[in-house]
Amino acid sequence: MSEPGHDRNLAYAEVDLGAKSDFRMTRADDGSIRFAGNCPRCHGETTMLFSVVRGDRLGSAQKALRRLARRRREPALSKPATMYCECGAGHQRPTTASDAGCGAYWTVTP
């Protein structure tokens, strides 16, 4: 897959790029939110899915009952969310890194 402008040889570095607004946000039927765009550092295509996880809501019976009583509502993304590059290129990534990009991270807001 060729991506014009994607600097695949850029060395891995965990650089904070601050807030970014040029990412497309889409919401899936299950309420999860996907941000897609190009990494501001290496310019590779990257996406991140913020899915709805309900497991922790069962922490207490009170919360569970409140959840039952309340109409099902999708959670909103009210604060900026941190996203990191997952472009998939090598970027001389250290073996200890658990991400799959150039290491850069930034925040996105809906």
Partner 1 sequence: MTIERKRWAQRAQALRLEQLAAIRSRAEQWRNGLVGLTALLGVAAVVKGPEVAADLSADARSTVVNLMTGAFAALVTGSLLAMFAAFGVPGRKQLMTGEALQVWEEREAAKARAAVLAGALVFLGGLVLVGLATRHAALSPGKPDNVISVKARGDVICGSLVSGTDRLRIKRRTEVGSPVVTNVPFAQISELALVEDCPRP
The answer to whether 28 contacts partner 1 (rule: CB under 8 A) is: no
Q: Which ranges of the chain would DSSP assign to H, the alpha helix?
A: 61-69
The answer to whether 48 contacts partner 1 (rule: CB under 8 A) is: yes
The answer to whether 61 contacts partner 1 (rule: CB under 8 A) is: yes
Q: Residue 81: how many CB atoms within 10 A of its CB?
A: 15
The answer to whether 58 contacts partner 1 (rule: CB under 8 A) is: yes
Please state, in angstroms and as integers, the Cα–Cα distance from residue 14 to each residue in 1, 57, 100, following that order. Answer: 24, 32, 12
Q: How far is CA 16 from the centre of its chain?
A: 14
The residue within the footprint of partner 1, chosen from 54, 70, 71, 72 (CB under 8 A), is 54
The residue within the footprint of partner 1, chosen from 10, 33, 42, 83 (CB under 8 A), is 83
Q: Which of 107, 110, 109 is nearest to 17 (CA)?
A: 107
In the complex, the residues that contact partner 1 under the rule CB under 8 A are 14, 16, 18, 48-51, 53-56, 58, 61, 64, 68, 81-84, 98-99, 105, 107
